[in-house]
Structure 1
Amino acid sequence: MTVATIEAQPPTIAKSERGFFSLMAPGARKAFFYLLVIAVGFLVAFPVLWLTLTSLRPASGMFYVHRGTEFTLENFVEVFANKTVIKAYVNSAIIATLATVLSLGITVTSGYMLSRFRGPIASGWFSIIYVFRCVPYISWVLPLYIVTQNLGVYDTYLGLLLPHIAVHICFFSWLMKGFFDGIDPSMEYAALIDGCSRWGAFVRVALPSAIPGLAALSVLCWLWTWNEFLFALLLTSHNTPVLTVVMAQFVHELGIEWNLMSATAVMALGPALLITFFGQKYIITGLKI
């Protein structure tokens, strides 16, 4: 008769109980989480708050605040009276809107092809997009400058729209492919069986299902174009100034006009915040597809 010996095993500790948070009481964890959220929110909001305060202060009170410092709207009055700034504001809105509309028209079909089609054409298009995505963004500038000069579209809407559309196609076709990959193609197959063409199945079935993704992509495209600086700096001049370049012109040999630059930046921040605020639910919904 043998006696089985059972060795005592050390108690296992759940993964959730390990680490730094295991040493904290539940109430302390909650307080730590709230403090972390407040700290991150402060880091995000502080630059915007400081920018707004700077735009409301006179030029003589940029670098110090004393008891008699007064806030003023003269900076905004001066900026609105500057025709170059207003022209740049309008140009930025037009270019961002046109680039978004035209880019979506191409990107949605590009993403659908990458998601649904197989063959040499789709593989070749996939390879082209992949190669251009591997190229650093800044290396596009000189070739695009030479091309716009040779085509005679330098410092025009077309000369600035084409580079933005090219970048959007390369970067956002992947997002559209992901949106269409998340849509069940069985309804499209049913439409094809019922006699619908491939284009009809795309327009009537796939495209309506991808509307949340399109809305998210349109917000991202618009914000990217609105905030873009490098293309606008090198591909435009006096005919089509944009807001990001005009803001940089407040830095000159006589100094930096912080008050006017801040007022212009607040003007540029307004539309971006509005579009982000009203489009955030579409962005969240679209990215969940």
Structure 2
Amino acid sequence: MATADTEPGSSQRFEKGTRETLVTVARHAVLLTWSFLVLFPLYWLASMSLKPSGQANSLPPDWIFLPTVYNYLQLVQSSDFVTAFANSLLMVGASVVLVLLIGVPAAYVLSRYDIPKERDVLVWILSSRMLPPIAVVLPFFIIFQEFNLFDSKIGMVLMYVSINLSLVVWVMKAFFDGIPETLEEAARVDGATRFQGFLKIILPAAKPGIFSVAIISFIFAWIELLFGLVLTSFNAVPVTLFVYSFIGSRSIEWSMLAAASTAMIIPVAIFLIAVNKYLAAGLSFGVVIKE
């Protein structure tokens, strides 16, 4: 009887364990498939950059080939590429710092203070992202010409700030709304000023949001092409415009295009890796959400 009583339980445990194993295998299979689909274009781009110009766009593709760094050497030896790359690093980095300095306090004010017609103000801020870039590039061109900002690094920094400011304000306002005001009230009871509470209490709690919008702002500014094409000519040319130069009217330099595109990805990857450490540290503390 004891054996008969235990056999059904053992069978059920075995079936449950089998189902859990199958679910785990299926989950990993889906994740591996999705990872392959996401990473394959990056592999394809990197492999093209390591092929000679004659092999880069061959059909059928050469899966086995002797890699070469000739394309990258050509990029490094090109003063135009080095200058454009440095321009983008300087302009995009400065724009990220500036947009955070403006957008984060603005979002805090909108979250904590009673602003007349706050909803209208938020919609007005968001409206800067509603129009397609092609619709606003000509007015910006006229303004830049009027104020001597055309083909200047300062002008491009201001342009990058203008296209990312609404994103920073909206995302950070949502983060500040989720942080209870009781934390600041407790700090003020201990003698802290409003600014000290914002600096020492709110900003550390909102660190995940700050680094998130910093990442997005960096990527949006780094890959921007249209404004650089219209608003620069020589002194402030971004790296995206240099990459675009490999696309000619009669032919495309596929190997050089792939090498330049791969080089463009490197700063984004480094920035993501560097920021991810602080992002994970911020998330590990957690944020108390309002109920």
State TM-score, norm by structure 1.
Answer: 0.82
Check the 8 A contact 1:55/1:75 in 2, yes or no.
yes
Give CA-to-partner distance per residue, 1:98-149, whole Å, 9 cap, x none. Answer: 0000000001111101110113275563242133343344433222222112
Check the 8 A contact 1:219/1:283 in 2, yes or no.
no
Distance in 1 separating the partners of 2:148 and 2:62: 54
Distance in 2 separating the partners of 1:200 and 1:220: 28
CA separation of 1:119 and 1:275: change in aligned 2, threshold 3 A: closer
Alignment of 1:1-289 (within 5 A): 26-64=20-58, 69-120=65-116, 122=118, 125-193=121-189, 196-283=192-279, 285=282, 289=287
Deviates more, 1:88-97 or 1:25-34: 25-34
Check the 8 A contact 1:111/1:173 in 2, yes or no.
yes
For 1:108, give the aligned amino acid: V
Check the 8 A contact 2:188/2:197 in 1, yes or no.
yes
Distance in 1 separating the partners of 2:278 and 2:253: 38
* Alignment size in residue pairs: 266
Check the 8 A contact 1:213/1:286 in 2, yes or no.
no
Distance in 2 separating the partners of 1:50 and 1:272: 18
* Equivalent residue, structure 2, for 1:4: none
Provide the identity percentage.
Answer: 28
Give CA-to-partner distance per residue, 1:258-278, whole Å, 9 cap, x none. Answer: 111111111111111122223
Q: 5+ residue gaps in structure 2?
A: 1-17
For 1:154, give the aligned amino acid: F
Deviates more, 1:117-126 or 1:234-243: 117-126
For 2:237, give the aligned amino acid: P
CA separation of 1:26 and 1:286: change in aligned 2, threshold 3 A: closer
CA separation of 1:36 and 1:185: change in aligned 2, threshold 3 A: same
CA separation of 1:107 and 1:202: change in aligned 2, threshold 3 A: same
CA separation of 1:254 and 1:137: change in aligned 2, threshold 3 A: closer
State TM-score, norm by structure 2.
Answer: 0.82
Question: 1:209, CA displacement in angstroms?
Answer: 2.6
Deviates more, 1:226-235 or 1:154-163: 226-235
Deviates more, 1:29-38 or 1:269-278: 29-38
Distance in 2 separating the partners of 1:123 and 1:150: 33
* Equivalent residue, structure 2, for 1:3: none
CA separation of 1:68 and 1:54: change in aligned 2, threshold 3 A: closer
Distance in 1 separating the partners of 2:187 and 2:117: 24
- SS where residue 247 of structure 1 aligns? helix
Give CA-to-partner distance per residue, 1:57-96, whole Å, 9 cap, x none. Answer: 1112123356994321111111111111000110111011
